[in-house]
């Protein structure tokens, strides 16, 4: 990423003084202007040309152009090279300029945002780009934070403010920030104008969750932490205003420090073509040397005898110098082995593929009215070679919607709707949702389908009442009533908000709270409970509790938490209820729902007073406070009574499980990189079927030190190796890890282990795993696993993981995300995909492709990507073939023309061959061809593997193509040459002459390459027919026109061979020669393909054969049953919000909280047909499969 400010040496520490621009300017800190564009008006032309001439072919054609400007060696006009070269450079430059224009537009939009800056005692409107370090700025509700700020004061009590960090870490739940007490009272502009504190802090860095600094003011110093900072990219929520001191601006902000550099992306085929062009140039030089030596020998031995009527040019004084000039002449003549039309055609084909993506109605989201968009045209074929997908979670896999789906209360399950036969009704078969219109405080957006639960509430079922009473009391939600009956909840976690909303709709409405009370409207009656204690959540406890006193004086503890934790703390007297509830939990978890267990316990007054005294002493202890509190919490949360369980649908985007299953069958590995918490990410993993109970083991790495992480990774590898040995795979030792072969593909015994494994690693552990001495151990362990989930990762860590795989695996990577926190990852991957979702458009602007739903990725890769790769490979193979067949005829002719650099064909045929005669048919094949239909591409994911293995165009395929081209050129020259040696016309005259021979060879060539492309075309359209047969017709039309009397009379010096074509093609011998040449050239190809299809068919051949059979016989369709995951329970609640929120509530600091404007991430498994699909994978393996090179055979 380029910056507006100049680059300076790294800082050791940063010193910032408030309201002192002159003081701060001496440190030359970066301004708040950002620049993500690559060019400006001055640098565009030189930088863009430099980038374009990094393409070896462009440099090659520039060199040829220079040669053609030398008249002594040029046998072709210079404009034949300069026109297409300038055309290619111009088209590419216009495309690059357009892309950069939009980057400039985006930068200007951000830089010109308005901000209120305190200057000379007054608030003035300033553009973001003019904000400076040390300025005090005012933010208002729902405004983005302009720079990294130290929070000074806010409209909320105690200097609190609430922010949404979706642009930074993808999380949409609210976070709390607080000003230090000494500045929280600086609410007046006059006081702020006099504030002259100085901040000394860490230098700019990319760590989003850490900040260390000190404020010096009035001879005192105050420690600063991340809780006092507002970072650029955050949005102020539910806070009227706040003031902040700019500490980091522009490129120094943590958001920009986590943004990757804009990279120039090339496909693997582009890189291979650069190598092949060098090889071809070497081959061209070899041919030129051979012919030049032949010229020198011929001129010395034979040409010297004909000096009288074949004199040398005036500059030529020896046979050696004649050979030298002949070398350069042949370099020009033979350069058509790689014509510049190749690169023009490649760009046209890529443009066509991009339009197909843009026009695909099946990738159009009607709900958001968003089509798919190919934002680049250079990476389409790489979409057919992806091996690793790196996906964000929140907003990419999920919809940020949390739904209260089912519950179990005192042994009865609610939430399922039964049809008349007593079976569970499908979603489409459900009746109307429960009517909550009787409840004026109900949330109209809430939907529930089981009316029996509402009936239980209305009939006064005590267990159901207690269930919803618990949900309305045991939480940390804040409530605001903006108008009568219009409640707004603000939850720290989206699932907690869903539970409180459910209680609200079932007539247990949480109305308000103070530090010591909670008011709930129960069945229309307001009840105020005394809040005695909040036993807050943390990562170890995985639960939270509240202790309340009812108006009747009863003290009760309400607890909710992870089922694995809470079930161990129940009273042993309720075995039967426990077993029934456990069955319900298994059923809910099998459907991918997030489960939570609810329990309560009555406390005696005396016991509670004694316990409360101990709690007070523990909370004020100077040492061991956390441990003492944990022991007290553990003591009171025992022998509880089971009340029931909840099941929340953490809603996935539509089609996510199916898409992941299909992509997995295509041998694409999917890694989830999320800033979210571990338990939430794991739940999503189970919901979208990345993680399953059938897996051998799920390894969780949570070490905080280098040694701990290394040990956990080592144990994971040992378990995988032990499992393989026990299954008889014969692995006896672990391959030693070395970095010496970092340039080559990483190979490992672990990649062939038996069983399926998954790896879950936290951000702090990943930081150690990505260090240079451990990155290979981490990569080998991760690549041996079927699924990898990285939690709590920073945007930069996402990019580092992608870069690690790119570096060692040499595989094509794709990153997909929807927020600004995914931009760095999107830029780093070979292909970046942006989801146009609810977290802004930063990811889309940085992406190569964009659409609105994750499920479209399946079609993008398996249909558009695979077809693009197939078409490009077939295009390149045919293009190299036809041009070697065309050019090598000159080489053979050199041995019969005294190595004089005379061409076989006339100049117009050479010019028009690649532009007119053979351009459109190959373009039609490159744009429209397909081996199987789009339905079969989706139905048989294994068809995708040839692209991953690079089977369709590689060095081997290239040599086969040029060998076929050379073979064709030999027959194309020597068959007519042999026939013409003794052939006569029908009138007895000699048939052989230069022009007749040229016409015969040229006609044979055009017919042979047209028949060849007909064989290569797998999908015929009207356009293919028109272009192939039309090109042949155009050839004959132009041929007869150039040999006509009319052109000769107009341009006698240019078209001197009047009537030659008509006379030559009127001879039966010529047509027999053309027919013989065509048959001999084509028949070996037909025979080889027939034998290959019969003896060693590829998977695509088998699928095509299946299509033909299905047209004749209707296949019987099987209905796939819905199979749910059972046998495990997952609770995401305990990890879904921050520790310490309960303490904040009881302190009373946040009693002026505003409303909740929060949407949550969610996931629910749709019908679990994936298991059936996986079984079908094994059943399909009886079909014939293609053979592939290397160690990764294709499987059906």
Point out the residues that are catalytic: 392
d(CA 1106, CA 1097): 13
Strand partners, 480: 488
d(CA 165, CA 326): 69
For every residue of 478-501, DSSP letters joined together read: EEEEEETTEEEEE-SSHHHHHHHH
d(CA 666, CA 942): 5
For every residue of 544-567, DSSP letters joined together read: EEEEEE-TT--EEEEEEE-HHHHG
Which residues lie below 8 Å from residue 425, measured CB to CB, with a gap of 6+? 417, 418, 419, 431
* Cα–Cα–Cα angle for 542, 547, 551, rounded to 5 degrees: 150
Quick one: CA torsion of 315, 318, 321, 325, rounded to 10 degrees? 60
Alpha helices in 172-267 (DSSP H): 189-194, 254-257
d(CA 57, CA 709): 48
Tokens of 445: 């957006």
- 684 contacts 398 by C-beta, under 8 angstroms: yes
Strand partners, 114: 127
d(CA 425, CA 880): 60
Which phi and psi angles does 223 have, rounded to 5°? -75, 140
Dihedral sign, Cα of residue 741, residue 745, residue 746, residue 747: negative
Pair type for strands 517-522 and 525-535: antiparallel
- According to DSSP, residue 917 is labeled I
Which phi and psi angles does 720 have, rounded to 5°? -65, -40
Tokens of 980: 């013409």
Give the residue among 59, 69, 236 at the shortest CA–CA distance from 156: 236
Which phi and psi angles does 733 have, rounded to 5°? -150, 155
* Cα–Cα–Cα angle for 968, 971, 974, rounded to 5 degrees: 145
Alpha helices in 562-604 (DSSP H): 563-566, 575-590
d(CA 170, CA 164): 9
d(CA 199, CA 214): 6
Half-sphere exposure in the Cβ direction for 643 (13 Å, CA): 25
Pair type for strands 241-248 and 787-791: unpaired
d(CA 867, CA 268): 16
d(CA 232, CA 249): 9
Q: How many residues does the chain have?
A: 1196
- CA 951 distance to own-chain centroid: 23
- 923 contacts 348 by C-beta, under 8 angstroms: yes
Tokens of 375: 């934002």
C-alpha to C-alpha distances, 642 to 307, 404, 645, 1041, 1127, nearest whole angstrom: 113, 20, 9, 95, 20
């Amino acid at each position: 990423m380029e910056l507006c400010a100049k680059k300076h040496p790294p800082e050791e520490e940063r010193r910032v003084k408030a309201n002192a621009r002159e003081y701060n300017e001496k440190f030359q800190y970066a301004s708040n202007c950002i620049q993500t564009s690559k060019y400006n008006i001055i640098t565009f032309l030189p930088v863009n040309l430099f980038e374009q001439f990094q393409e070896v072919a462009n440099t090659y054609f520039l060199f040829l152009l220079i040669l053609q400007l030398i008249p002594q060696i040029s046998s072709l006009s210079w404009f034949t090279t300069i026109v297409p070269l300038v055309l290619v450079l111009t088209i590419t430059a216009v495309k690059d300029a357009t892309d950069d224009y939009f980057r400039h537009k985006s930068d200007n939009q951000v830089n010109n945002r308005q901000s209120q800056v305190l200057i000379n005692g007054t608030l003035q409107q300033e553009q973001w780009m003019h904000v400076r370090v040390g300025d005090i700025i005012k933010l208002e509700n729902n405004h983005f934070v302009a720079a990294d700020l130290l929070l000074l004061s806010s409209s909320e009590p105690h200097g609190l403010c609430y922010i949404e960090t979706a642009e930074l870490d993808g999380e949409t739940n609210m976070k709390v920030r607080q000003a230090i007490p000494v500045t929280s009272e600086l609410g007046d502009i006059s006081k702020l104008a006099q504030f002259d504190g100085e901040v000394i802090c860490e230098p700019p860095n990319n760590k989003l969750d850490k900040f260390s600094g000190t404020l010096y003011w009035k001879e005192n110093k105050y420690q600063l932490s991340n809780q006092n900072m507002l970072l650029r990219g955050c949005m102020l929520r539910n806070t009227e205003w706040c003031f902040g001191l700019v500490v980091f601006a522009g490129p120094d902000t943590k958001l920009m420090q986590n943004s990757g550099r804009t990279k120039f992306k090339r496909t693997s085929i582009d890189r291979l073509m650069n190598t092949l062009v060098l090889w071809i140039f070497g081959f061209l030089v070899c041919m030129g040397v051979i012919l030049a030596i032949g010229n020198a020998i011929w001129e010395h031995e034979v040409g010297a005898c004909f000096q009288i009527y074949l004199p040398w040019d005036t500059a030529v004084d020896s046979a050696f110098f004649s050979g030298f000039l002949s070398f350069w002449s042949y370099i020009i003549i033979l350069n058509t082995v790689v014509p510049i039309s190749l690169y023009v055609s490649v760009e046209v084909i890529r443009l066509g593929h991009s339009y197909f993506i843009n026009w695909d109605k099946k990738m159009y989201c009607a709900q958001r009215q968003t089509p798919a968009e190919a934002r680049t045209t250079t990476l389409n074929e790489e979409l057919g070679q992806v091996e690793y997908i790196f996906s964000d979670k929140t907003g990419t896999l999920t919809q940020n919607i949390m739904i209260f789906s089912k519950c179990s209360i005192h042994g009865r399950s609610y939430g399922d709707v039964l049809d008349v036969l007593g079976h569970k009704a499908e979603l489409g078969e459900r009746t109307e949702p429960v009517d909550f219109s009787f409840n004026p405080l109900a949330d109209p957006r809430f939907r529930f389908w089981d009316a029996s639960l509402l009936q239980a509430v209305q009939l006064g079922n005590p267990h159901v009442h207690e269930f919803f009473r618990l949900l309305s009391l045991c939480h940390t939600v804040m409530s605001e009533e903006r108008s009568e009956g219009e409640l707004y909840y603000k939850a720290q976690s989206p699932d907690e908000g869903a539970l409180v909303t459910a209680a609200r709709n079932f007539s247990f409405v949480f109305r308000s709270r103070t530090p010591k009370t909670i008011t709930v409207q129960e069945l229309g009656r307001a009840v105020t409970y005394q809040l005695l204690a909040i036993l807050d959540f943390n990562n170890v406890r995985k639960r939270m509790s509240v202790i309340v006193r009812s108006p009747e004086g009863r003290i009760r503890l309400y607890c909710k938490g992870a089922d694995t934790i809470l079930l161990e703390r129940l009273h042993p007297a309720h075995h039967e209820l426990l077993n029934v509830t456990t069955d319900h939990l298994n059923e809910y978890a099998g459907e991918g729902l997030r489960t939570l267990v609810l329990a309560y316990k009555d406390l005696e007054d005396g016991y509670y007073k004694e316990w409360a005294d101990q709690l007070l002493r523990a909370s004020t202890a100077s040492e061991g406070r956390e441990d003492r509190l944990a022991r007290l919490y553990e003591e009171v949360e025992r022998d509880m009574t089971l009340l029931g369980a909840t099941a929340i649908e953490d809603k996935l985007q539509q089609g996510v499980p199916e898409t992941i299953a299909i992509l997995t069958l295509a041998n694409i590995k999917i890694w989830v990189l999320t800033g979210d918490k571990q338990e939430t990410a794991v739940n999503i993993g189970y919901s979208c079927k990345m993680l399953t109970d059938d897996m051998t083991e799920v390894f969780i790495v949570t070490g905080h030190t280098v040694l701990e992480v290394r040990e956990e990774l080592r144990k994971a590898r040992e378990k995988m190796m032990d499992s393989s040995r026990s299954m008889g795979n014969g692995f006896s030792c672990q391959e030693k890890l070395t970095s010496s072969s970092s340039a080559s593909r990483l190979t490992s015994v672990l990649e062939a282990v038996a069983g399926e494994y998954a790896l879950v690693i936290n951000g702090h552990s990943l930081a150690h795993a990505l260090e240079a001495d451990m990155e290979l151990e981490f990569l080998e362990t991760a690549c041996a696993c079927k699924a990898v989930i990285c939690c709590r990762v920073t945007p930069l860590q996402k990019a580092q993981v992608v870069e690690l795989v790119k570096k060692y695996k040499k595989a094509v990577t794709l990153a997909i995300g929807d927020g600004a926190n995914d931009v760095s990852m999107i830029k780093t991957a070979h292909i970046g995909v942006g989801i146009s979702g609810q977290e802004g458009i930063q990811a889309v602007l940085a992406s190569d492709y964009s659409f609105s739903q994750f499920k479209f990725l399946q079609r993008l890769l398996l249909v558009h990507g695979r077809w693009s790769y197939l078409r490009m490979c077939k295009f390149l193979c045919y293009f190299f073939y036809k041009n070697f067949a065309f050019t090598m005829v000159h080489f053979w002719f050199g041995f019969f023309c005294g190595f004089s650099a005379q061409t076989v064909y006339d100049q117009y045929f050479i010019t028009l061959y690649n532009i007119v005669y053979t351009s459109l048919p190959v373009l039609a094949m490159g744009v429209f061809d397909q081996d199987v239909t789009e339905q079969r591409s989706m139905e048989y994911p294994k068809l995708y593997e040839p692209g991953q293995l690079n089977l369709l165009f590689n060095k081997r395929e290239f040599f086969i193509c040029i060998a076929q081209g050379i073979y064709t050129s030999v027959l194309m020259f020597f068959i007519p040459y042999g026939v013409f040696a003794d052939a006569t016309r029908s009138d007895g005259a000699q048939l052989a002459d230069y022009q007749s021979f040229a016409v015969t060879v040229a006609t044979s060539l055009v017919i042979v390459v047209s028949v060849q492309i007909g064989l290569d075309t797998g999908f015929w359209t009207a356009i293919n027919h028109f272009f192939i047969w039309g090109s042949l017709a155009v050839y004959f039309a132009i041929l007869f026109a150039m040999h006509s009397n009319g052109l000769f009379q107009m341009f006698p010096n240019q078209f001197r061979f009047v009537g030659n074509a008509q006379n030559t093609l009127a001879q039966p011998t010529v047509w027999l020669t053309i027919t013989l040449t065509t048959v001999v050239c084509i028949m070996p190809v037909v025979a080889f393909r027939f034998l290959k299809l019969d003896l060693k068919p590829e998977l695509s051949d088998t699928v095509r054969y299946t299509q033909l059979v299905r047209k004749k016989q209707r296949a019987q369709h099987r209905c796939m049953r819905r199979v749910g995951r059972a046998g495990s329970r997952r609770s995401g609640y305990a990890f879904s919000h921050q520790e310490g929120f309960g303490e904040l509530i009881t302190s009373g600091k946040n009693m002026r909280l505003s409303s909740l404007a929060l949407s949550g991430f969610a996931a629910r498994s749709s019908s679990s047909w994936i298991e059936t699909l996986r079984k079908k994978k094994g059943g399909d393996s009886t079909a014939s499969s293609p053979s592939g090179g290397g160690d990764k055979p294709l499987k059906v």
